[in-house]
Structure 1
């Protein structure tokens, strides 16, 4: 066996091992959801049942919880696009003093944990009387250094001739974003949307900080209230609740996975 074959075998083995590790919890969740018995001690029986799913659906007000998460994640992503796209366009195509410094500051924002800025943001929202509401969940995530970086990389791949031709036609900066930039960054919008929606749909930290009631409970916040080692909800029902929580994201990913891969590939090819 030559070196190339050994390297390929090693790479495929590592990828397969990683896949098993990542799929293990998913298999356990599905087994506990649709089979009878405790999946932790191995006494599952090969009898399919939907009783756990029905009990999980009855345990939470899923239409309201789903609606809140869709509203919050959708509003966050829309606000991120509106605020990040003009900044990315300026950093990619405008020549102004401090452009490199500004881009470096954007990169620094990517490595600052949300917990670092959580305390001052909490006190700011508290002073404005916005705690325990939708705005408390949405406003802190409006600015996104990741979206700025992603959109900038995509805009760099747009030929300069398109911008020059648009300027000759009298297109202004705002129209340039709408008529030239936006049509060419749609794959980046899909990629950024996936990362943004998944991140904020699964976020439990920030809702736990700013929410005190279930009035604006998101999916993770609601699930955390009925799950855990001290919960009286049976384990199989907890696993079914977890499956219902992950179902919308799984469906969305299956629908847009081709666009997501294309967006990531084109972004990696940016200058």
Structure 2
């Protein structure tokens, strides 16, 4: 008869090996990116596998990344765009989610069905109508063109609504008895209660829009308005083609803020995703 403790230990070892193998597969492109950012040009395409460079070119590559193109400006543009989108999404998503979770009104089921339907439509399908709309509004090649199309987030409304479904109705009734309006209730009661879900949504939103290449490429022509992914296009040498060392160094710098942001909010992110599980 098998020892239950032995079987349990074997399963834990197997599970951790599988998880570590999966983590290695996902981390490999980032490790390779970091390795390439440290190598001189003649080593990048050299035959054989060399994780560490034989001749270090880190200072040269990272200096070029910061001086060959205005990378810091692109980072600032990315922060402005992501922060603007996130703030406006929260302003729209929180009241909408509260209405869907705690209020009864005519057309609620239809409106909720439209929100859910919006999650099934890829952004690329609506890109051309949005482009034409911004063209007629005279907003192409502006920061507003990068922000306005993303103000309403169906995913944000869905995530917040799922969290609000778990907030006790007695808490809301007590707040109303204390004289709070629905507007005050959303921002003074529901928002603090939903902070884990809000942080989880913030990570999703920031990562998505920080890495977005398609939409900025479509609506931005001025280099000074470029976001970080769009800015990586400019690491080119007319004679030698793409300068991969500085390109990878710039990509490391662009990725670093997202990594720090996620690590700082990791605990709340896991709580938010867990507590926002599907409720009735």
Q: Calculate the TM-score normalised by the size of structure 1.
A: 0.91
1:15 corresponds to 2:35:
no
Tell me the SS of whatever aligns to 1:203: coil
Tell me the SS of whatever aligns to 2:43: coil
Deviations 1:99-133 (A, max 9, x none): 22221211111121001110100000000110000
Structure 2 counterparts to residues 195-214 of structure 1, below 5 A: 195-214=204-223
The worse-fitting range, judged by mean Cα deviation, of 223-232 and 56-65 is 223-232
Q: Cα RMSD (Å) of the superposition?
A: 2.4
Structure 2 counterparts to residues 38-187 of structure 1, below 5 A: 38-40=43-45, 41=47, 42=49, 45-48=53-56, 49-187=58-196
Tell me how far apart the structure 2 counterparts of residues 228 and 61 of structure 1 sit (CA, whole Å): 16
- Give 1:24 deviation, angstroms: 0.8
- Please name the residue that 1:32 is paired with: 36
- Give 1:236 deviation, angstroms: 1.7
Tell me the SS of whatever aligns to 1:60: coil
Tell me how far apart the structure 1 counterparts of residues 240 and 100 of structure 2 sit (CA, whole Å): 50
Which ranges of structure 1 fall in alignment gaps of 5 or more residues? none
Tell me how far apart the structure 1 counterparts of residues 85 and 71 of structure 2 sit (CA, whole Å): 21
Indicate if the aligned counterparts of 2:237 and 2:243 stay in contact, CA closer than 8 A: no
Q: Calculate the TM-score normalised by the size of structure 2.
A: 0.88
Question: Which of 259, 269, 274 is the matching residue for 1:260?
Answer: 269
Indicate if the aligned counterparts of 2:142 and 2:220 stay in contact, CA closer than 8 A: yes
- Please name the residue that 2:224 is paired with: 215
Indicate if the aligned counterparts of 1:132 and 1:215 stay in contact, CA closer than 8 A: no
Question: Which of 180, 197, 206 is the matching residue for 1:188?
Answer: 197
Tell me how far apart the structure 1 counterparts of residues 55 and 237 of structure 2 sit (CA, whole Å): 26
The worse-fitting range, judged by mean Cα deviation, of 223-232 and 124-133 is 223-232
- Give 1:46 deviation, angstroms: 4.6
- Give 1:225 deviation, angstroms: 2.9
Indicate if the aligned counterparts of 1:31 and 1:39 stay in contact, CA closer than 8 A: no
